[in-house]
Structure 1
Amino acid sequence: MRLLNATSFEDMIALYLKAELTGRFGGEIEALLEREKARRLVIENPDLTSEADNTLRRRILAGYRAYVFEDLPEHVQWHRALLTRDDVAKVRYIDYSYWNELSNHTRLPSVAAEVVRSGREVFGVSNEGFLQAAQALREGAHFPELILVAESPDSALTVLEGHKRLTAYLLAPECLPDELAIIVGFAPECARI
Protein backbone atom coordinates (compact mmCIF):
# COMPACT_ATOMS: atom_id res chain seq x y z
CA MET A 1 0.00 0.00 0.00
CA ARG A 2 1.21 3.45 -0.87
CA LEU A 3 -0.20 6.27 1.25
CA LEU A 4 -0.84 9.46 -0.72
CA ASN A 5 -2.25 12.04 1.68
CA ALA A 6 -4.28 12.45 4.83
CA THR A 7 -7.98 13.09 4.40
CA SER A 8 -10.98 13.55 6.66
CA PHE A 9 -13.89 11.67 8.15
CA GLU A 10 -16.13 13.98 6.10
CA ASP A 11 -14.37 12.88 2.89
CA MET A 12 -14.92 9.24 3.83
CA ILE A 13 -18.62 9.83 4.56
CA ALA A 14 -19.09 11.68 1.27
CA LEU A 15 -17.51 8.79 -0.63
CA TYR A 16 -19.55 6.24 1.35
CA LEU A 17 -22.81 7.95 0.39
CA LYS A 18 -21.76 8.52 -3.21
CA ALA A 19 -20.89 4.83 -3.61
CA GLU A 20 -24.18 3.69 -2.11
CA LEU A 21 -26.39 6.23 -3.90
CA THR A 22 -26.50 4.06 -7.02
CA GLY A 23 -26.55 0.75 -5.14
CA ARG A 24 -29.06 -1.17 -3.08
CA PHE A 25 -29.44 1.67 -0.55
CA GLY A 26 -30.07 4.31 -3.22
CA GLY A 27 -33.80 4.44 -2.52
CA GLU A 28 -33.26 5.00 1.18
CA ILE A 29 -30.70 7.73 0.52
CA GLU A 30 -33.06 9.42 -1.98
CA ALA A 31 -35.88 9.34 0.60
CA LEU A 32 -33.61 10.86 3.25
CA LEU A 33 -32.47 13.57 0.82
CA GLU A 34 -36.12 14.35 0.08
CA ARG A 35 -36.97 14.47 3.80
CA GLU A 36 -34.05 16.86 4.33
CA LYS A 37 -35.14 18.91 1.29
CA ALA A 38 -31.64 18.43 -0.11
CA ARG A 39 -30.46 17.82 -3.65
CA ARG A 40 -28.36 14.86 -4.82
CA LEU A 41 -25.59 17.35 -5.52
CA VAL A 42 -24.71 17.36 -1.82
CA ILE A 43 -23.59 13.74 -2.34
CA GLU A 44 -22.66 13.65 -6.02
CA ASN A 45 -20.43 16.74 -5.84
CA PRO A 46 -19.70 17.23 -2.13
CA ASP A 47 -18.33 20.48 -0.74
CA LEU A 48 -16.20 19.22 2.15
CA THR A 49 -15.59 22.81 3.33
CA SER A 50 -19.30 23.31 4.08
CA GLU A 51 -20.04 22.41 7.69
CA ALA A 52 -23.77 22.42 6.92
CA ASP A 53 -23.30 19.92 4.08
CA ASN A 54 -20.99 17.75 6.20
CA THR A 55 -23.59 17.69 9.00
CA LEU A 56 -26.33 16.85 6.48
CA ARG A 57 -24.31 13.94 5.05
CA ARG A 58 -23.70 12.59 8.57
CA ARG A 59 -27.46 12.73 9.28
CA ILE A 60 -28.26 10.95 6.02
CA LEU A 61 -25.73 8.20 6.69
CA ALA A 62 -26.97 7.81 10.26
CA GLY A 63 -30.52 7.63 8.93
CA TYR A 64 -29.97 4.31 7.19
CA ARG A 65 -26.57 2.87 8.18
CA ALA A 66 -25.72 4.11 11.67
CA TYR A 67 -24.94 0.57 12.81
CA VAL A 68 -21.97 0.39 10.44
CA PHE A 69 -20.16 2.96 12.56
CA GLU A 70 -20.92 1.52 15.98
CA ASP A 71 -17.53 -0.23 16.15
CA LEU A 72 -15.61 2.51 14.35
CA PRO A 73 -13.57 4.60 16.80
CA GLU A 74 -13.83 8.40 16.60
CA HIS A 75 -10.06 8.91 16.30
CA VAL A 76 -9.51 7.05 13.01
CA GLN A 77 -6.85 8.67 10.83
CA TRP A 78 -8.10 8.69 7.24
CA HIS A 79 -5.85 8.62 4.17
CA ARG A 80 -6.09 8.32 0.44
CA ALA A 81 -3.86 5.51 -0.77
CA LEU A 82 -3.10 3.13 -3.62
CA LEU A 83 -3.15 -0.67 -3.43
CA THR A 84 -1.23 -3.00 -5.70
CA ARG A 85 -3.01 -5.98 -7.21
CA ASP A 86 -1.39 -8.20 -4.56
CA ASP A 87 -2.64 -5.86 -1.82
CA VAL A 88 -6.20 -6.02 -3.20
CA ALA A 89 -6.17 -9.82 -3.13
CA LYS A 90 -5.34 -9.74 0.62
CA VAL A 91 -8.10 -7.34 1.72
CA ARG A 92 -10.57 -9.04 4.06
CA TYR A 93 -14.31 -8.73 4.36
CA ILE A 94 -15.82 -7.41 7.60
CA ASP A 95 -16.63 -10.08 10.17
CA TYR A 96 -20.26 -10.64 9.21
CA SER A 97 -22.20 -13.87 8.70
CA TYR A 98 -22.96 -13.42 4.98
CA TRP A 99 -19.39 -12.47 4.03
CA ASN A 100 -17.96 -15.19 6.26
CA GLU A 101 -20.13 -17.84 4.61
CA LEU A 102 -19.51 -16.55 1.08
CA SER A 103 -15.74 -16.75 1.66
CA ASN A 104 -15.82 -20.21 3.29
CA HIS A 105 -15.00 -18.54 6.62
CA THR A 106 -11.71 -17.05 5.36
CA ARG A 107 -13.06 -13.48 4.95
CA LEU A 108 -11.06 -13.38 1.69
CA PRO A 109 -12.88 -12.02 -1.37
CA SER A 110 -10.59 -14.10 -3.60
CA VAL A 111 -12.15 -17.22 -2.05
CA ALA A 112 -15.61 -15.68 -2.37
CA ALA A 113 -14.97 -15.08 -6.08
CA GLU A 114 -14.38 -18.82 -6.47
CA VAL A 115 -17.59 -19.57 -4.57
CA VAL A 116 -19.50 -17.19 -6.87
CA ARG A 117 -17.92 -18.77 -9.97
CA SER A 118 -18.98 -22.21 -8.70
CA GLY A 119 -22.60 -21.05 -8.63
CA ARG A 120 -23.09 -21.69 -4.90
CA GLU A 121 -25.40 -19.12 -3.35
CA VAL A 122 -25.30 -18.18 0.32
CA PHE A 123 -28.42 -17.67 2.47
CA GLY A 124 -30.54 -17.75 -0.70
CA VAL A 125 -28.96 -14.53 -1.99
CA SER A 126 -28.34 -14.46 -5.74
CA ASN A 127 -24.78 -13.98 -7.01
CA GLU A 128 -26.09 -12.01 -9.98
CA GLY A 129 -25.04 -8.64 -8.52
CA PHE A 130 -21.41 -9.77 -8.33
CA LEU A 131 -21.49 -11.16 -11.86
CA GLN A 132 -23.10 -7.99 -13.23
CA ALA A 133 -20.52 -5.79 -11.50
CA ALA A 134 -17.67 -7.91 -12.91
CA GLN A 135 -19.21 -7.64 -16.38
CA ALA A 136 -19.54 -3.88 -15.96
CA LEU A 137 -15.80 -3.72 -15.23
CA ARG A 138 -15.10 -5.71 -18.39
CA GLU A 139 -17.21 -3.18 -20.29
CA GLY A 140 -15.16 -0.25 -18.95
CA ALA A 141 -17.06 0.80 -15.82
CA HIS A 142 -15.19 2.76 -13.17
CA PHE A 143 -16.15 2.18 -9.56
CA PRO A 144 -15.88 4.58 -6.60
CA GLU A 145 -12.95 3.98 -4.30
CA LEU A 146 -13.21 1.23 -1.72
CA ILE A 147 -13.23 2.31 1.92
CA LEU A 148 -10.95 0.17 4.08
CA VAL A 149 -9.83 0.14 7.70
CA ALA A 150 -6.82 -1.32 9.47
CA GLU A 151 -5.03 -1.22 12.77
CA SER A 152 -1.98 0.42 11.13
CA PRO A 153 -0.44 0.77 7.65
CA ASP A 154 1.38 -2.54 8.18
CA SER A 155 -1.62 -4.59 9.33
CA ALA A 156 -4.37 -6.49 7.52
CA LEU A 157 -6.87 -4.36 5.60
CA THR A 158 -10.63 -4.84 6.00
CA VAL A 159 -13.25 -3.47 3.63
CA LEU A 160 -15.74 -1.19 5.36
CA GLU A 161 -17.63 -0.18 2.21
CA GLY A 162 -17.35 -1.75 -1.23
CA HIS A 163 -17.72 -5.49 -0.64
CA LYS A 164 -19.50 -6.09 -3.94
CA ARG A 165 -17.01 -3.94 -5.90
CA LEU A 166 -14.06 -5.71 -4.27
CA THR A 167 -15.55 -9.09 -5.17
CA ALA A 168 -16.14 -7.91 -8.75
CA TYR A 169 -12.48 -6.91 -9.09
CA LEU A 170 -11.49 -10.43 -8.09
CA LEU A 171 -14.04 -11.95 -10.47
CA ALA A 172 -12.55 -9.84 -13.29
CA PRO A 173 -8.88 -9.55 -12.23
CA GLU A 174 -7.88 -8.54 -15.76
CA CYS A 175 -9.71 -5.25 -15.09
CA LEU A 176 -7.90 -4.50 -11.85
CA PRO A 177 -5.50 -1.57 -12.34
CA ASP A 178 -1.87 -1.88 -11.29
CA GLU A 179 -2.72 0.49 -8.43
CA LEU A 180 -6.25 0.86 -7.08
CA ALA A 181 -7.24 4.13 -5.37
CA ILE A 182 -8.84 3.72 -1.94
CA ILE A 183 -9.59 5.56 1.28
CA VAL A 184 -8.23 3.83 4.36
CA GLY A 185 -8.65 4.57 8.05
CA PHE A 186 -6.18 3.57 10.75
CA ALA A 187 -6.84 3.03 14.46
CA PRO A 188 -5.83 0.20 16.81
CA GLU A 189 -9.49 -0.68 17.40
CA CYS A 190 -10.02 -1.34 13.68
CA ALA A 191 -8.34 -4.71 14.14
CA ARG A 192 -11.62 -6.13 15.48
CA ILE A 193 -13.82 -5.02 12.53
Structure 2
Amino acid sequence: MEDFGAVSDDHVILAWLQAEIESPPFQAYLMGDPPKPSHLAHALALARNPDLGNAAHNAERRRIIASAHGFGRGALIFAGLEDDISWRRARVSVAEVADMLYSNRNATWTTLAPATRTVAEGASNAARVFTGDDMNLHILSLARIICHAEPAPELSPILCLRTPGGGISLLEGHTRATAMVLEGHKLPLGVEAFVGESPSIRSWAYL
Protein backbone atom coordinates (compact mmCIF):
# COMPACT_ATOMS: atom_id res chain seq x y z
CA MET A 1 0.00 0.00 0.00
CA GLU A 2 1.30 3.41 -0.99
CA ASP A 3 0.11 6.06 1.45
CA PHE A 4 -0.58 9.51 -0.02
CA GLY A 5 -1.49 11.16 3.28
CA ALA A 6 -4.49 12.31 5.25
CA VAL A 7 -7.68 13.59 3.64
CA SER A 8 -10.84 15.12 5.04
CA ASP A 9 -14.35 13.74 5.21
CA ASP A 10 -15.18 16.05 2.31
CA HIS A 11 -12.82 14.17 -0.03
CA VAL A 12 -14.26 10.80 0.98
CA ILE A 13 -17.86 11.96 0.66
CA LEU A 14 -17.18 13.39 -2.80
CA ALA A 15 -15.62 10.09 -3.90
CA TRP A 16 -18.64 8.19 -2.57
CA LEU A 17 -21.10 10.45 -4.38
CA GLN A 18 -19.13 10.23 -7.63
CA ALA A 19 -19.05 6.44 -7.37
CA GLU A 20 -22.83 6.20 -7.05
CA ILE A 21 -24.19 9.13 -9.00
CA GLU A 22 -24.54 7.29 -12.34
CA SER A 23 -26.47 4.39 -10.77
CA PRO A 24 -30.15 4.45 -11.85
CA PRO A 25 -31.41 3.24 -8.43
CA PHE A 26 -29.41 5.94 -6.67
CA GLN A 27 -30.66 8.56 -9.11
CA ALA A 28 -34.22 7.44 -8.40
CA TYR A 29 -33.50 7.75 -4.68
CA LEU A 30 -32.18 11.28 -5.18
CA MET A 31 -35.26 12.36 -7.14
CA GLY A 32 -37.53 11.10 -4.38
CA ASP A 33 -41.20 10.17 -4.46
CA PRO A 34 -42.93 11.96 -6.06
CA PRO A 35 -39.95 12.51 -8.39
CA LYS A 36 -38.30 15.92 -8.38
CA PRO A 37 -35.77 15.99 -11.24
CA SER A 38 -34.29 19.22 -9.88
CA HIS A 39 -32.97 17.29 -6.88
CA LEU A 40 -31.12 14.91 -9.18
CA ALA A 41 -29.79 17.76 -11.31
CA HIS A 42 -28.40 19.45 -8.21
CA ALA A 43 -26.71 16.25 -7.02
CA LEU A 44 -25.25 15.62 -10.47
CA ALA A 45 -23.72 19.10 -10.44
CA LEU A 46 -22.27 18.51 -6.97
CA ALA A 47 -20.64 15.29 -8.20
CA ARG A 48 -19.53 16.29 -11.67
CA ASN A 49 -18.35 19.84 -10.98
CA PRO A 50 -17.01 19.66 -7.44
CA ASP A 51 -15.51 22.56 -5.53
CA LEU A 52 -14.06 21.25 -2.30
CA GLY A 53 -13.39 24.83 -1.27
CA ASN A 54 -17.12 25.57 -1.18
CA ALA A 55 -18.41 24.83 2.32
CA ALA A 56 -22.04 24.89 1.23
CA HIS A 57 -21.40 22.31 -1.49
CA ASN A 58 -19.48 20.11 0.94
CA ALA A 59 -22.40 20.31 3.37
CA GLU A 60 -24.87 19.36 0.64
CA ARG A 61 -22.81 16.34 -0.41
CA ARG A 62 -22.50 15.31 3.23
CA ARG A 63 -26.26 15.58 3.68
CA ILE A 64 -26.84 13.29 0.69
CA ILE A 65 -24.40 10.59 1.79
CA ALA A 66 -25.43 10.86 5.45
CA SER A 67 -29.06 10.38 4.49
CA ALA A 68 -28.40 7.54 2.05
CA HIS A 69 -25.74 5.65 3.99
CA GLY A 70 -25.54 7.00 7.53
CA PHE A 71 -22.18 8.76 7.15
CA GLY A 72 -21.37 10.51 10.43
CA ARG A 73 -24.65 9.40 12.00
CA GLY A 74 -23.75 5.93 13.24
CA ALA A 75 -26.59 4.49 11.16
CA LEU A 76 -27.05 2.13 8.21
CA ILE A 77 -23.62 0.96 6.95
CA PHE A 78 -22.05 3.21 9.62
CA ALA A 79 -23.95 1.56 12.48
CA GLY A 80 -21.71 1.37 15.53
CA LEU A 81 -19.20 3.91 14.21
CA GLU A 82 -18.53 7.26 15.82
CA ASP A 83 -18.11 10.40 13.75
CA ASP A 84 -14.36 10.34 14.37
CA ILE A 85 -12.96 8.37 11.44
CA SER A 86 -9.60 9.61 10.17
CA TRP A 87 -9.08 8.99 6.46
CA ARG A 88 -6.00 8.47 4.33
CA ARG A 89 -5.74 8.26 0.57
CA ALA A 90 -3.73 5.34 -0.73
CA ARG A 91 -2.93 3.23 -3.75
CA VAL A 92 -3.38 -0.48 -3.19
CA SER A 93 -2.39 -3.43 -5.32
CA VAL A 94 -4.98 -5.80 -6.71
CA ALA A 95 -3.52 -8.48 -4.43
CA GLU A 96 -4.25 -6.23 -1.45
CA VAL A 97 -7.80 -5.70 -2.70
CA ALA A 98 -8.18 -9.48 -2.98
CA ASP A 99 -7.28 -9.82 0.71
CA MET A 100 -9.88 -7.26 1.81
CA LEU A 101 -13.03 -8.42 3.56
CA TYR A 102 -16.57 -7.79 2.44
CA SER A 103 -18.64 -6.00 5.07
CA ASN A 104 -20.44 -8.53 7.24
CA ARG A 105 -24.18 -9.15 7.60
CA ASN A 106 -24.91 -8.50 3.94
CA ALA A 107 -26.48 -11.52 2.28
CA THR A 108 -25.13 -10.76 -1.19
CA TRP A 109 -21.50 -10.72 -0.13
CA THR A 110 -21.63 -13.44 2.50
CA THR A 111 -23.25 -15.65 -0.15
CA LEU A 112 -20.38 -14.98 -2.56
CA ALA A 113 -17.70 -15.51 0.08
CA PRO A 114 -19.15 -17.72 2.82
CA ALA A 115 -15.87 -19.23 3.97
CA THR A 116 -13.54 -16.25 4.29
CA ARG A 117 -15.53 -13.11 3.35
CA THR A 118 -12.53 -12.09 1.23
CA VAL A 119 -12.86 -10.36 -2.10
CA ALA A 120 -10.66 -13.11 -3.57
CA GLU A 121 -13.24 -15.74 -2.64
CA GLY A 122 -16.07 -13.57 -3.94
CA ALA A 123 -14.32 -13.03 -7.25
CA SER A 124 -13.74 -16.76 -7.66
CA ASN A 125 -17.46 -17.38 -7.10
CA ALA A 126 -18.88 -14.45 -9.07
CA ALA A 127 -19.62 -16.49 -12.18
CA ARG A 128 -20.92 -19.62 -10.46
CA VAL A 129 -22.61 -18.77 -7.15
CA PHE A 130 -25.94 -16.96 -7.55
CA THR A 131 -26.29 -14.16 -5.02
CA GLY A 132 -30.08 -14.12 -5.18
CA ASP A 133 -30.16 -10.68 -6.79
CA ASP A 134 -28.60 -9.05 -9.85
CA MET A 135 -25.15 -8.55 -8.32
CA ASN A 136 -23.51 -11.32 -10.36
CA LEU A 137 -24.51 -9.46 -13.52
CA HIS A 138 -23.17 -6.15 -12.22
CA ILE A 139 -19.83 -7.68 -11.22
CA LEU A 140 -19.32 -9.55 -14.47
CA SER A 141 -20.43 -6.60 -16.60
CA LEU A 142 -17.93 -4.30 -14.91
CA ALA A 143 -15.21 -6.94 -15.17
CA ARG A 144 -15.89 -7.17 -18.91
CA ILE A 145 -15.56 -3.40 -19.26
CA ILE A 146 -12.24 -3.46 -17.40
CA CYS A 147 -11.02 -6.36 -19.52
CA HIS A 148 -11.80 -4.86 -22.92
CA ALA A 149 -11.10 -1.17 -22.32
CA GLU A 150 -7.87 0.24 -23.74
CA PRO A 151 -6.50 1.70 -21.61
CA ALA A 152 -8.19 0.33 -18.50
CA PRO A 153 -10.98 2.66 -17.35
CA GLU A 154 -10.63 5.11 -14.49
CA LEU A 155 -12.43 3.52 -11.56
CA SER A 156 -13.75 5.28 -8.50
CA PRO A 157 -11.69 4.73 -5.34
CA ILE A 158 -12.83 2.00 -3.01
CA LEU A 159 -13.69 3.07 0.53
CA CYS A 160 -12.65 0.85 3.39
CA LEU A 161 -11.88 0.62 7.09
CA ARG A 162 -8.84 -0.76 8.87
CA THR A 163 -10.03 -3.43 11.28
CA PRO A 164 -8.74 -3.90 14.84
CA GLY A 165 -6.82 -6.99 13.70
CA GLY A 166 -4.94 -5.00 11.08
CA GLY A 167 -6.93 -6.16 8.07
CA ILE A 168 -9.08 -4.02 5.80
CA SER A 169 -12.82 -4.29 5.30
CA LEU A 170 -14.78 -2.73 2.47
CA LEU A 171 -17.23 0.02 3.27
CA GLU A 172 -18.21 1.09 -0.25
CA GLY A 173 -17.17 -0.38 -3.58
CA HIS A 174 -17.81 -4.11 -3.14
CA THR A 175 -18.81 -4.57 -6.77
CA ARG A 176 -15.84 -2.58 -8.10
CA ALA A 177 -13.40 -4.40 -5.84
CA THR A 178 -14.66 -7.80 -7.00
CA ALA A 179 -14.46 -6.85 -10.67
CA MET A 180 -10.98 -5.41 -10.11
CA VAL A 181 -9.77 -8.71 -8.71
CA LEU A 182 -11.34 -10.64 -11.58
CA GLU A 183 -9.43 -8.53 -14.11
CA GLY A 184 -6.39 -7.66 -12.03
CA HIS A 185 -4.04 -8.17 -14.98
CA LYS A 186 -5.46 -4.95 -16.43
CA LEU A 187 -4.60 -2.96 -13.31
CA PRO A 188 -0.86 -3.48 -12.79
CA LEU A 189 -0.48 -0.14 -11.00
CA GLY A 190 -3.21 -0.96 -8.50
CA VAL A 191 -6.22 1.16 -7.61
CA GLU A 192 -6.99 4.14 -5.45
CA ALA A 193 -8.57 3.73 -2.02
CA PHE A 194 -9.58 5.75 1.00
CA VAL A 195 -8.78 3.93 4.24
CA GLY A 196 -10.46 4.96 7.48
CA GLU A 197 -9.32 4.33 11.04
CA SER A 198 -11.17 4.84 14.32
CA PRO A 199 -11.28 3.21 17.77
CA SER A 200 -15.03 2.77 17.23
CA ILE A 201 -14.45 0.28 14.40
CA ARG A 202 -14.38 -2.35 17.16
CA SER A 203 -18.10 -1.67 17.56
CA TRP A 204 -18.94 -1.53 13.86
CA ALA A 205 -22.05 -3.58 13.15
CA TYR A 206 -20.58 -4.90 9.89
CA LEU A 207 -17.17 -5.94 11.23
TM range (shorter): 0.7 to 0.9
Aligned to 1:38: 42
Q: Which of 97, 103, 116 is equivalent to 1:106? A: 116
Alpha-carbon distance between aligned partners in 1 of 2:40 and 2:125, rounded to the nearest angstrom: 41
Q: Is the counterpart of residue 115 in structure 1 residue 125 in structure 2?
A: yes
Q: What is the number of residues matched between the two proteins?
A: 191
Following superposition of structure 1 onto structure 2, how do residues 10-49 of structure 1 map, counting pairs within 5 Å?
Answer: 10-23=10-23, 24-31=25-32, 34-35=38-39, 38=42, 40-49=44-53
Task: For residue 33 of structure 1, report the CA deviation from its aligned partner.
Answer: 7.4
Alpha-carbon distance between aligned partners in 2 of 1:126 and 1:83, rounded to the nearest angstrom: 24
Task: For residue 124 of structure 1, report the CA deviation from its aligned partner.
Answer: 4.3
CA contact (8 A) 1:33 1:40 kept: no
Task: For residue 103 of structure 1, report the CA deviation from its aligned partner.
Answer: 0.7
Aligned to 1:186: 197
Alpha-carbon distance between aligned partners in 2 of 1:171 and 1:81, rounded to the nearest angstrom: 21
Extract unaligned runs of 5+ from structure 1.
none
Task: For residue 112 of structure 1, report the CA deviation from its aligned partner.
Answer: 1.0
**1:13-43 superposed Cα distances (whole Å, 9 cap, x missing partner):** 1110110011242332355873387252211
SS of equivalent residue, structure 1 residue 78: strand
Task: For residue 128 of structure 1, report the CA deviation from its aligned partner.
Answer: 1.1
Q: Which of 146, 154, 163 is equivalent to 1:142? A: 154
CA contact (8 A) 1:33 1:60 kept: no
CA contact (8 A) 1:150 1:157 kept: yes
CA contact (8 A) 1:151 1:188 kept: no
- Runs of 4+ with >4 A deviation: 30-33
Change (3 A) 1:86 1:105: same
Task: For residue 148 of structure 1, report the CA deviation from its aligned partner.
Answer: 1.0
Change (3 A) 1:180 1:39: closer
Q: In structure 2, give the amino acid aligned to 1:144.
A: S
Aligned to 1:177: 188
Q: Is the counterpart of residue 82 in structure 1 residue 91 in structure 2?
A: yes
Share of identical aligned residues, percent?
Answer: 25
Alpha-carbon distance between aligned partners in 2 of 1:26 and 1:14, rounded to the nearest angstrom: 16
Extract unaligned runs of 5+ from structure 2.
71-75
Greater shift in the superposed pair: 60-69 or 142-151: 60-69
Q: In structure 2, give the amino acid aligned to 1:177.
A: P
| RMSD (CA atoms) | 2.3
